[in-house]
Structure 1
C-alpha cells in the first residue's frame, strides 16, 4: 500500500484496472495563458474544460500525474450534497442560501452525468446510494432527514426498513437504509482520465511532473515551477490536500486526512451480486464510517479507516479485513488483494471552501470526503465566475470558515483527540 509514490500512480485496483496514458511533458520555460490551473484533478480539469469550451486558453500544471491525488484514489461514491449536513449550512448562511447551495449540488450531479455522456467517458457509472444506520439513534436521525429534505428542499429520499434493505444488501448489521436514487458511484481514476482527454480535445494544455513552487500575485498572476512559469489573466488553485506553501491563508482552513480502501479478489458475478443485488453504493453513518460497493470485475471495494494523523494506521490490511467481515461474515474466506489510501481535505465545519484570494486568483478546497460530485460543481462554478457569471460563487463565499486551532505543530494532535471522542460515541451508539 502506498500513498506517496513520487513518480507514477500509487498501487491500487483503480490503477491496475485502467489503461494508463504515457506521461505528459513537464513545463519548460515561460508559457502564457488566459487561465493557469494548479492541479489536474476533478476541480482543475472541470474548470479547464468548461473554460476552454468558451474559448479561453488554459494551461494545467500537475505535480505528479493526472488524477494522482484524491481524484484517482477515492471511494468513487458520488452523492448529492456536501461534506456537512444541510442544517449546518442553515446555521452558517441562513435558510435561503442553504437552499440555493443544495440546489446547486443537485445541478452539479446532473452536470456530472451529462459530462460523462457528452464526452463518452467509460467510468462504470451506477445509480443508487444507501446511507445505513447501525444504532437506533442513527435510524431516527435518518428518518427525520428524509422528512426534512422532502419538506424543506423538495428532495425525494426513500426509507427502507430492515426487510426491504435485506432484499438488496446481504448484511444483518444495519437497521434500514435512506436510499438516494439520484446519487451513485463510478470508477474515479477512469473518470478523471476521461476528463483530461476531453479537456485536451478542446485545446487545454496539461503538464505533468510540474509541481508549482510559488504563486506570484498581481495584475497577471504567475505559477512558477522549477523549470518554468505560466503567466495568466487568472489562476485557479485546485490542489486541495496537496496545496502546500502556495497560499498559507488557505492551508490554515484545511486539514489533510488519510482514508483507505481495499479491493477483494474477484468474487465471481453470482457471489458479488449476492452481496449487493442492485449494485448501489453503501455507507454507514458513523463518524468513522465504512463504505462499500461492487466493481465491474465483481470485487467488493471496501473503504473507511479514516486516520487523523500523518501516518497510515498500523496493521491496515488486517483491520480493513476485520471491518469488511463484520459487515459481510460470509466473506470469511475472502482476502483483500489491494489496499491503498490517500488524503482528503476537510474544513472545520465540513462545508465547502470556495472563493477568491484576489480578484484574479480563485480556489476550491474543503470537500470533506464528499467530493466526487461537488469538486466537479466547483470547477463549473469557478469557470462561470471567471467568465463573468459569479452569482453562484458569491453564495459559496458567504460560508464562514475558521482556522484549525493549534498552528502547524498542534492542529493535528488536537484533531486526533477530537475525533477519538466521535469514534467512542459511534461505539456507544
Structure 2
C-alpha cells in the first residue's frame, strides 16, 4: 500500500508522478540520507555532483512533509535574526549564519537554472507592516541586513505598498528583491530528477526504524537496510523519535493553507500587480501569493504541537477576507495543513552526533 500525498494544490499540480520503490534489500553506499525533503534532497544532489554514491530513504513520498506543503516563499534570514545570533553566540558565528541566510535563495535559483527546473519561480518578496511599530522594525531590519551585505531591499510607505498589494490594511512594507516564490513540490521533484540523473537512488515508503551507531552506521527499514560511510539525518518534523536527543530540543508545529479557484487574469493582476509574495509581520503571520495558474494561495496560523484546526477553510477565510474584502465568498479549491519543526532556540539545528552521523 503506497502512501499518498496530502490533498494539496501542490500534489494535484506536480509534474513528476513517478513512484520510487520501497527498499527491500540490504545495500551499501557512501552516504545514506534519511528524509526526502529539501534538506535531504539538496544535500544528496550536491554530494552526487561531488562524486559520492548516495541513497535517500523517504518514509512516505518525496516532499510529503513541510517541503511539499509550504507557502512556496523564498524568505531570507531565520526565525531569530542575525543580530540575536551574533549577540548570543559571537561575531564569528553571527557572520557565518548571516552569509548562509542570504546564500540560500541564490542556491535555489542556481539549481533551477542549472537543471532547468519548471517550478514557477518568480522574484520578489514583501514583508508587510500592519502598524507603525512593525514598520519601525522593518526599517531596522533593512539596516541590519545591509550590514551583512544584503542591499537589494526597498522600504515602501503606505501609498507605495498599496500599489503593490490591493488592500488598505498595511502601514508600509519592506520589499526584498532577492526574495521570491515558486511551486515548492515541483522545485523538490526537479532536484530529485537531477539527483537521479547523476546516479542517485531514492526509496519511498522506506521509513528508517532503527539506526545502529557503529563506525559505519546501519539504518534499518521494515524490509531492508543501508550501511554507509556517513549518515545524514534530515527528517525535520517527521522523525517520530528516531533520534531522541534531537526530539528533546524541538517541537512540531502545524500551519495551514488554502488555494482559491482560478481567478480571472484581470482579478489576479490587481491583487498583487507585480506578482510578489507577501507575509505580514505578526507573530502568527499570514502569507500569500498568486500561483502560476492565477490562484490566490493564502496561509497562516500556528498550532503548537502540530495538527490542524477543525476547519481550515473557516479559519483562513476570515484572514483572507480581512486582507482582500473584494474576494468575499470566493470558492476554495484546496485546503491542507502540515507540520514544520520548531527548534527550542528558534535557530537552525545542525551538527554531528558522532564522527559518521
TM-fit CA distance, 1:6: 7.3
Cα distance, 1:343 vs structure 2: 0.4
Are 2:299 and 1:294 equivalent residues in the alignment? no
Give structure 2 stretches of 5+ with no counterpart.
none
Alignment of 1:42-81 (within 5 A): 42-81=38-77
Matches of 1:309 and 1:53, distance apart in 2: 37
Matches within 5 A, 1:7-406: 7-150=3-146, 152-156=147-151, 157-361=153-357
- When normalised by structure 2's length, the TM-score is 0.97
What is the distance in 1 between the residues matched to 2:96 and 2:150? 13
- Paired residues of 1:221 and 1:360 also in contact (CA < 8 A): yes
Give CA-to-partner distance per residue, 1:307-339, whole Å, 9 cap, x none: 113431123211211110000001013122211
Partners in 2 of 1:275 and 1:236 — Cα distance? 42
Give distance in 1, aligned partners of 2:63 and 2:21.
Answer: 16
How large is the RMSD of aligned CA atoms in angstroms? 1.3
Structure 1 residue 137 displacement after superposition: 1.2
Normalised to the residue count of structure 1, the TM-score between the two structures is 0.81
Tell me the distance in 2 between the aligned counterparts of 1:55 and 1:77: 31
Query: Which protein is richer in helix relative to its size?
Result: 1
Q: Are the equivalent residues in 1 in contact too, given 2:251–2:305 (CA < 8 A)?
A: no
Q: CA deviation at 1:96?
A: 3.2
Q: Secondary structure at the match of 1:355?
A: coil
CA distance in structure 2 between the aligned counterparts of 1:356 and 1:187, rounded to whole angstroms: 32
The residue number in structure 2 matching 1:424 is none
Aligned residue pairs total 356
Q: Distance in 1 between matches of 2:142 and 2:306?
A: 36
Contact 2:36 2:58 in 1 (8 A): yes
The Cα shift of 1:347 comes to: 1.0
Q: CA offsets, 1:97-135, max 9 Å, x none?
A: 212211122222211101111011100111001101112
Q: Is the Cα–Cα contact under 8 Å of residues 214 and 245 in structure 1 kept in the other structure?
A: no
List alignment gaps of at least 5 residues for structure 1.
Answer: 362-429
The whole-number CA distance in structure 2 between the counterparts of 1:38 and 1:345 is 16
Partner SS for 2:107: helix
